[in-house]
Chains A and B, each alone.
Chain A
Amino acid sequence: MYNDKEASKIVDIIKNFARKHSLWIVAYGTGCGAIELPPTMTSRYDAERFGIRGSATPRQADVLLITGYLSVKTLKRVIRTYEQMQEPKYVIGFGSCTINGGMYWDSYNTIKALDRYLPVDVYINGCMPRPEAVISGFIKLQELIAQGKADGAKRYQENLEWYRENQRKVIKNWRMPEYNW
């Protein structure tokens, strides 16, 4: 007979296997990196081979792609989008801009280090990352999921105060659009 621990371990493996091979991207092109997503998702590079596909709403999605720079205005919506997503959820940062500001390091309207505002699981280097790099990023994410290390959502919950503080620092007015569903 299996004991509970072993059983849950097996369940975990199955869960992680399914999660790893079914990554739905929320369709939100937040920056210029979104331009390399069509080639990645379409026939030339065909990310659907890995079970990666777009999903129209954050509720159904697993992965949030931050495709490059985030203006303060977008950041507000991105946080909203991220919080609408259901756990486990992952964030992939595209390109230089998410790491240390990139091209727009001295712009008054873009944030520089994404991980202050959202937990990032994988960074992909490049400006823009080409489709191969994007796919590599997903493969890396799959590895992390299989190892159980893609715990961005957990980090976000545990350090919510810290993230909120940083978010409030750049988003001056914390009001959200009036919709609430």
Chain B
Amino acid sequence: MREKETTLYFGPQHPGITGNMMVKLKVAGDTIVKAETHVGYLHRAFEKLMERRTWMQSFPIVCRICVPEPDPNEENLARAVEEIEGREVPERAKYIRVMVLELSRLAAYFLWMGGQSGTAGLYTVPQWSVGDRDYILDLFEELTGGRIYHMYIWAGGVRRDLPEGFADKVLKTMDYIESRLPEYDKLMFDNAIFQKRAQGIGVIDKDKALEWGVVGPPLRGCGIKHDVRKDEPYEVYDKLDFVVPTYEGGDIWARAMVRRKEMEQSISIIRQVIEKMPGGEYYNKVPTPLNWFVPPGEAYVKTESARGEFGYYVVSDGSLKPRRVHVRGPAYVHGVSLLENILVGANISDVAMIMNSLGVCPPEIER
């Protein structure tokens, strides 16, 4: 017997949706037979706006592209401009950048942890993890002057040097986070019901991953060892010691475990950075921003963000303003075509969990 199909609008106003987007679901019983993503609710036309802004003015605006984790955007634009210009970045700035990126990765994972278990109905984890993430935001506030939008990394280095005693604070926070991780393990990752909810759901196998252009933790979750930090080390990642965890299975659980292991790696990277950080300059000054002409050229740069590979294609025509800044966030691939594909056959209970585990982040899909 064929069940009657119902149309279900999952979003944009829906507590289970990540951000502001909509998935139009056709369901038969509890099973999804067709999914159609609708994005564009957060379209602000960044790429158009950047055509109207000078290079320097573009820096405060790019970080808004991805709300939970703004730093890879700044890093990407900065690196792209530096590549076009051939500008050197002081060693210290590179270390600081890595620290910022890893801190933001940790923060993003804490937020993800909250989202993943919150959508599963385990409301204690978001309360903890978002609260613990706040300690990282405190660090950001002290370092960059902003909690969410840091506007800290820019062409030539970083905006300000570390404040006094900052390294100790970072280490202290890292110790705290490390001491908290076992508690999360007990509550979330060891949780029998959570495992039941996550295992075998939203499976992406290796071939599918390659076919659909999956990146980041979902890719590593299906056993492919690919991480921009290793394959094309930017900043000082080649001088740091870390491993890229991979899991077989390609389900929500594998992706969750990849992220869980990467949290430990991030903590270790941050500790190494603090230990190895050299002194000296932190900023190789660009010309006065009102008259900063970037020579003609193009650059494609990518950064490993918490959700995967973040790519920027930047073209300069030699003027004050960028010709084109094209942003491809990981969610651009995950959140539209892949999601539509993977949701077919899934249970409606799992839609939110799948979206979370793929790291769907609407603001970076539509920019």
Docked Cα-Cα span, A58 to B12, in Å, equals 12
Complex CA gap A130/B134 in Å reads 11
Closest chain-B Cβ to A180's Cβ sits at a distance in Å of 12
Mark the stretch among A10-18, A69-77, A158-166 that contacts chain B. A69-77
B239 shortest CB reach to chain A, Å: 32
Stretch with Cβ within 8 A of A (4 or more), from B40-48, B163-171, B222-230, B316-324 = B40-48
Report how far A169 CA is from B45 CA in the complex, Å.
20
Distance from B69 Cβ to chain A, minimum over Cβ atoms (Å): 10
Determine the chain A residues whose CB is within 8 A of the CB of B128 once the complex forms. 43
Chain A residues within an 8 Å CB radius of B61: 103
Interface: A125 (CB within 8 A): no
CA distance A71 to B367 in the complex (A): 11
Query: Do residues A32 and B45 form an inter-chain contact, with CB atoms below 8 A?
Result: no
Q: Is the CB of B127 within 8 A of A128?
A: no
Determine whether B64 belongs to the interface, using a CB cutoff of 8 Å to chain A: yes
A31 vs B363: C-alpha distance when bound (angstroms): 8
How many residues on chain B are close to A (CB under 8 Å)? Answer: 36
Q: Which residues of B contact A179 (CB under 8 A)?
A: 7, 9
Whether A77 lies near B44 (C-beta < 8 A) is no
With the chains together, A133 CA to B130 CA distance in Å? 18
List A residues 6-64 near B (Cβ within 8 Å): 26-32, 34-36, 38-39, 42-45, 54, 56-58
Partner of A107 from B48, B67, B149 at Cβ < 8 Å:
B48
Query: Which of B48, B67, B148 interacts with A108 by CB under 8 Å?
Result: B48
List chain A residues, Cβ under 8 A from B114: 38, 42
Docked CA distance A36–B137 (Å): 11
Q: When each residue 229-259 of chain B gets 1 if its CB lies under 8 Å from chain A and 0 otherwise, what string results?
A: 0000000000000000000000000000000
A105 to B192, CA, bound (A): 49
Q: How large is the interface on A (under 10, 10 to 19, 20 to 34, 35 or more residues)?
A: 35 or more
Contact check, B147 vs A130: say whether CB atoms are below 8 A apart: yes
- A-chain residues with CB within 8 Å of residue B42 when the two chains form the complex: 31-32, 71, 74
The residue on A at minimum CB distance from B133 is A39
- Name the B residues within 8 Å of A38 (CB-CB): 111, 114, 126, 130
A104 at the interface (CB under 8 A from B): yes
B13–A42 CB distance below 8 A: no
Chain A nearest CB, measured from B15 CB (Å): 4
A77 touches B12 (CB 8 A): yes
A128 to B68, CA, bound (A): 12
Residue B20 CB within 8 A of the other chain: yes
CB-based contact B137/A39 at 8 Å: yes
B208 on the A face (CB < 8 A): no
Main SS at interface, chain A: loop
Q: Are B13 and A81 in contact (CB under 8 A)?
A: yes
Specify which chain A residues have a CB less than 8 angstroms from the CB of B12 in the assembled complex: 28, 74, 77
**B146 CB, min distance to chain A CBs, angstroms:** 9
Which residues on B sit within 8 Å (CB–CB) of A36?
A: 147-148
Report yes or no: A42 in contact with B127, Cβ–Cβ below 8 A. yes
Contacting A at CB under 8 A, from B134-168, are 134, 137, 147-149
Check B13 against A43 for contact (C-beta < 8 Å): no
Q: Could you tell me the distance between the alpha carbons of A43 and B67 in the complex, rounded to whole angstroms?
A: 21
Which residues of A sit under 8 angstroms from B363, Cβ to Cβ?
32
Whether, in the assembled complex, B14 has its beta carbon less than 8 Å from a beta carbon of chain A, the answer is yes
Task: List residues of chain B with CB within 8 A of the CB of A142.
Answer: none
* CB-defined contacts of A42 to chain B, threshold 8 Å: 114, 126-127, 130-131
Which of B13, B42, B137 has most A Cβ within 10 Å? B13
- B43 near A71 with CB under 8 A, answer yes
- A107 & B49 in contact (Cβ 8 Å cutoff): yes
Q: Which residues of B contact A57 (CB under 8 A)?
A: 13
A32 to B130 alpha-carbon distance, docked (Å): 16
Q: How far is the CB of B355 from chain A (nearest CB, A)?
A: 13
What are 26 A-to-B residue pairs whose CB atoms are below 8 Å?
A27-B14, A32-B42, A32-B64, A32-B67, A36-B147, A39-B134, A42-B114, A42-B130, A44-B130, A44-B131, A54-B15, A73-B40, A74-B20, A74-B42, A77-B12, A77-B41, A103-B60, A104-B49, A106-B49, A106-B52, A107-B48, A108-B45, A108-B48, A109-B43, A109-B44, A179-B9
Instruction: Give A contacts to B, CB under 8 Å.
Output: 26-32, 34-36, 38-39, 42-45, 54, 56-58, 69, 71, 73-74, 77, 81, 103-104, 106-110, 127-128, 130, 177, 179
